[in-house]
Structure 1
Amino acid sequence: MRFVSVLALCSALCIPTFAFAATSNLAQYLDPIMIGEQPTIGSDTIITPDLVITAYQANNFDAIWQDQDYALQAIELLKQAELEGLNPQDYHLQALQELLQQGDSAQFDVLMTDAVMTYATHLIRGKVNPKSLTKTWNYDQHDVTPDQAAAALLKHVKAQTLAEGLENLKPQIPHYKRLKDGLVFYKKLQTLEPLPQASLAKGVIRPTETDPSIPVIRRRLERLGYYTGELNDENLTYDKPLQEAVEKLQYFNQVKTDGVIGKDTLKLLNQSYQEKINDIIVNLERTRWVDNNLTEDFLIVNIAGFKVFLMKNGKLKWESNVVVGRNYTKTPIFKGRLSYVVINPTWTVPRSITKGLVDKVKANPNYLEEKNFYLVDAKRNPIDAQSIDWDSVNRNKFPYWFVQGPSENNSLGQVKFMFPNKYSVYLHDTPAKTLFAEDQRAFSHGCVRVENPFDLAEHVLANTNSWSRNKIDETLASKETTRVTLDKPLDVLLMYWTVAGNEDGLHFYSDVYNRDPALLAKLTQ
């Protein structure tokens, strides 16, 4: 991973050849910025006044964009912001083109400097501050230091290497590149002649059946790149090649991969390309938020995709399905450090669940024994459940805590992965294995349940003392609660990506927490 300062990138933008702006004319527009007045050039607001002023200070208040030919090249680079899912008009594009035609060198110079500084900042840390959207966000935003940014801008402008400088600021993980490729793909589809909407004569089409909509469905899947067979409009049969294409569509869009064309699959077939473009744009932004926080080794949970990925040396090492929080008990988005693993954990029942357990004990006096629960007080002293008059217990003021002992039926399963945080969220095993077969897996109270937790334990403990898979299995068999501290803590990123650029292609996930619209609105302001 590269860790490049935005300022350093911006400094590559300055080339003094354009006999363009005299120092006295520049001062007319820079002085108001320096004294804290509302910085504007015409109707355009200066977005990064601190970076702009520092750049001119570093350049002895001389014009930065004196080489008109290179300034034109820089404008072309700003236009390419669209390829990053950003809006070129955020970088004064129209005003710059007008000023260039008018020959207003001083205004152009200041506005151009701000445009490049702003674009560079957006590339390295995103346009939208994620903390304005998510209260749980605790990732460090990349620090843009004015002095470094100014130096970088001037360096790249003089060397005419601005393109390389900006490229280095973009996220380098393959996921980002795949999202960009997808953006180009769907924007190209928008330029093609529209296809008719697919509609079903019956509510559902199954393989081998016939329907008048089959030719349209074939063409829509061919355009999306899922169908590669013959386009025969006379063939109204749902044949094997078409079934394979439908199953690809379902697989890459988080719909049950059964080959049956029903309501959900029909909706995907008719989905507008603009919807896909919007989905990609918001996830490009989410990637910019975190890319400069990534180390070579980390564990990332994609909440929207119900997946966990282990990265080693910057490459995918392992992945598994997960279950995340329901919509009313959302899994928070934050960054932590996996520091220890507990094998054969106990489970102290949260207060939010205690009321329900009290009711179950009242209904079944043997419930605690059957489910391997015991009671403790606030100081963890054991309490004899038989001594309690359960009929008179107030479920809203129950003074004790339910604790479930280690077992395969423990609600946390047989292993949990701890990255201490104020939300009491962690990764863990679960006895409810059937939930992993669901396409939409938002069922938990906020923690993340892992489908293959013992494989994860083997990976994260591989470099900790002698914790081999055999030793993990032996400890599991002992039924004794064992805490294993990692020799080297591992970064854990809980993220929310509704589109993921995986190795096999772009996967589109449901916006289960309805977070995309708010981000898209801020990106398009």
Structure 2
Amino acid sequence: MRIILAVTLIGAAALAAPPACAAPPAAPAAAQAQQGTEALLRLADRLRRLAEDGLEPRDYAIPEDALAEADPAAWRAALKQAAATVLSDLLHGKVRELPGRVDIRRDTAALPLNPWMAQLAASPEPAAVIDRAALLPPEAAALRRALAAARAWAAAGGYPAVPPMPGTEALEPGAVDPVRVPALRARLAATDRAAATLRPDDPTIYDEALVAAVRRFQAAEALEPDGRIGRLTFAALNRPPEQAVRQLRVALDMRRAAAAPGPERRIEVNIPHQRLQVIEAGRVTLDMNVIVGKPARATPVLRTRLAAVQFNPPWGVPERNAREDLLPRFRANPRAMMEKGFRVFTFVEGQRVEIDPTTIDWRSVNPARFPYLIRQDAGDANALGRIKFVIPNSEDIFMHDTPDRHLFRRADRAFSSGCIRLEKPMELLDIALQGVAGWDRARVDGVLESRQTTAMTVARPIPVRLHYTTVTVEGAEVRIRQDLYGLDEAYARALDAPRLPRLAELRAR
């Protein structure tokens, strides 16, 4: 299996304490007798291997085996309490709530604890109950294998290092380098099954087969897949496996008791993977690249609906975009900005008044107190393109066309101001048009040609989820993308936070 590592950035979050976990219900005497000391010792051993599941054994007060002889009753009670807490976390997730993560929904009612607790109390092999719970989430087996591989590399001291080139030099395809090329082969062989099978005639030549492996690595890392190994690719190659360990732990916990999507048509935007899919009855009917927000202007996680479509939209430029993005361009060439459809307004005695941009001393404008409103008229140069998809939300985020079509060929597409730019807006429009009386592609073409701003209401609003999932499983391959906004790191901190005292413990004090 190939594991593709990702950068981890620092984010902020707080841990909400999980609900109190009751001890497993008392089992009949015959069942308890079946849970002999040997079976319970195997249970204790399984709990000490919780790192395989992305959990930390130290969080669960697992009693030492020596207590089994010194105080058998206390050992059994402590072990069963630890197992009950572990079972709850394996089924429902340790991090039950995380501020701002509306994209994560758990359906704990669909996975009630009581039957599992009863199995834990009655099974002659309670460790097997823990095993079944650990493998219950979708893709858990693949993620656990990837986690084990990443942990093994971390324990071994990390992946084989690839010495960077001096200064700003890059390792170019076809180069001969007796130091870096063999190291590069060893590094890629660690995480790329195909690269591990390469048997070059001369291992010091950066040949075509190795270039292809580097391009796969670059694409998975959201780097330009050109085969040239510069500063960013060297940094990604030398990234420690501990980062993958943290993201894989988060991925496992996120999937526990995850609410199953319904069969209705829905739109899913995976922000770190920078992709949009339309899914219906479990089948992907549309798949496209998207451009998402840069880290400084992150695309928020959202749950909303596609409610309307606007054709030939004008762009009311947000103040932040105006002062940070457009002010330097107005300073450089205000006439060119006019030619691109930008108009400048101010307020005089409460009335909005348009100003000729060429009459403004833009160099004297203070960005901290930007005094103007800026709008871009509809047209070929408009930043929103020809179509805007309205998804009502408090963040003023929408999906839209763009005139900069070449940007979708880039592997890293995180450079918008938060909104979602679409590679295939017309294909998404075809889906939105379904069931709307009086609208078809012929009418749309006429409206677009008219350059008039026109809106259409979607007949059946389509659920939209903008979610943050860095780890995906595609066939036999686990892909880990860059933690763009540090949300994985925030989740990992919550996962590692000390467990607060449970309600039953507080009442006993």
Structure 2 residue corresponding to 1:414, chosen from 386, 393, 396:
386
Query: 1:210 offset after TM fit, Å?
Result: 0.8
Residues 407 and 61 (structure 1), Cα distance of their counterparts in 2 relative to 1, 3 Å cut: farther
Query: 1:283 offset after TM fit, Å?
Result: 3.1
Letter in 2 for 1:154: A
Structure 1 residue corresponding to 2:190, chosen from 194, 202, 223:
223
Moved more, 228-237 or 299-308: 228-237
Contact conserved, 2:390 with 2:398, CA < 8 A, in 1? yes
Structure 1 residue corresponding to 2:22, chosen from 52, 69, 76:
52
Letter in 2 for 1:181: R
CA distance in 1, matches of 2:361, 2:209: 66
Structure 2 residue corresponding to 1:88, chosen from 12, 35, 57:
57
Letter in 1 for 2:187: R
Match of 2:242 in 1: 274
Query: 1:518 offset after TM fit, Å?
Result: 3.5
Unpaired segments ≥5 residues, structure 1 = 1-46
TM value normalised by structure 2: 0.74
Query: 1:256 offset after TM fit, Å?
Result: 1.7
Contact conserved, 1:86 with 1:281, CA < 8 A, in 2? yes
3-state SS of 2:178 partner? coil
Match of 1:452 in 2: 424
Match of 2:413 in 1: 441
Structure 2 residue corresponding to 1:497, chosen from 439, 463, 469:
469
Letter in 2 for 1:241: A
Structure 2 residue corresponding to 1:344, chosen from 305, 312, 317:
312
CA distance in 1, matches of 2:295, 2:461: 30
Query: 1:507 offset after TM fit, Å?
Result: 3.0
Moved more, 238-247 or 428-437: 428-437
Q: Report the identity percentage.
A: 25
Contact conserved, 1:340 with 1:418, CA < 8 A, in 2? yes
Query: 1:413 offset after TM fit, Å?
Result: 1.4
Structure 2 residue corresponding to 1:137, chosen from 94, 101, 115:
101
Query: 1:227 offset after TM fit, Å?
Result: 0.9
Match of 1:154 in 2: 118
Letter in 1 for 2:171: I
Query: 1:414 offset after TM fit, Å?
Result: 1.6
| Aligned residues between the structures | 467
Contact conserved, 2:271 with 2:467, CA < 8 A, in 1? yes
CA distance in 2, matches of 1:60, 1:185: 38
Contact conserved, 1:308 with 1:319, CA < 8 A, in 2? yes
CA distance in 1, matches of 2:461, 2:30: 49
1:114-135 per-position Cα deviation (integer Å, ceiling 9, x unaligned): 533443335434436321xxxx
Letter in 2 for 1:216: A
Contact conserved, 1:412 with 1:429, CA < 8 A, in 2? yes
CA distance in 2, matches of 1:438, 1:496: 20
Residues 92 and 487 (structure 1), Cα distance of their counterparts in 2 relative to 1, 3 Å cut: farther
Residues 128 and 245 (structure 1), Cα distance of their counterparts in 2 relative to 1, 3 Å cut: same
Query: 1:450 offset after TM fit, Å?
Result: 1.7
Structure 1 residue corresponding to 2:172, chosen from 206, 213, 217:
206
3-state SS of 2:114 partner? helix
Contact conserved, 1:408 with 1:414, CA < 8 A, in 2? yes
CA distance in 2, matches of 1:96, 1:460: 60
Query: 1:343 offset after TM fit, Å?
Result: 2.9
Matches for 1:360-509 after TM superposition, within 5 Å? 370-372=339-341, 385=354, 401-462=373-434, 472-503=444-475, 505-509=477-481
Does residue 326 in structure 1 map to residue 294 in structure 2? Answer: yes
Match of 2:12 in 1: none
Contact conserved, 1:325 with 1:446, CA < 8 A, in 2? yes
Letter in 2 for 1:204: A
3-state SS of 1:51 partner? coil
CA distance in 1, matches of 2:356, 2:176: 69
Contact conserved, 1:323 with 1:443, CA < 8 A, in 2? yes
Contact conserved, 2:90 with 2:134, CA < 8 A, in 1? no
Match of 1:197 in 2: 161
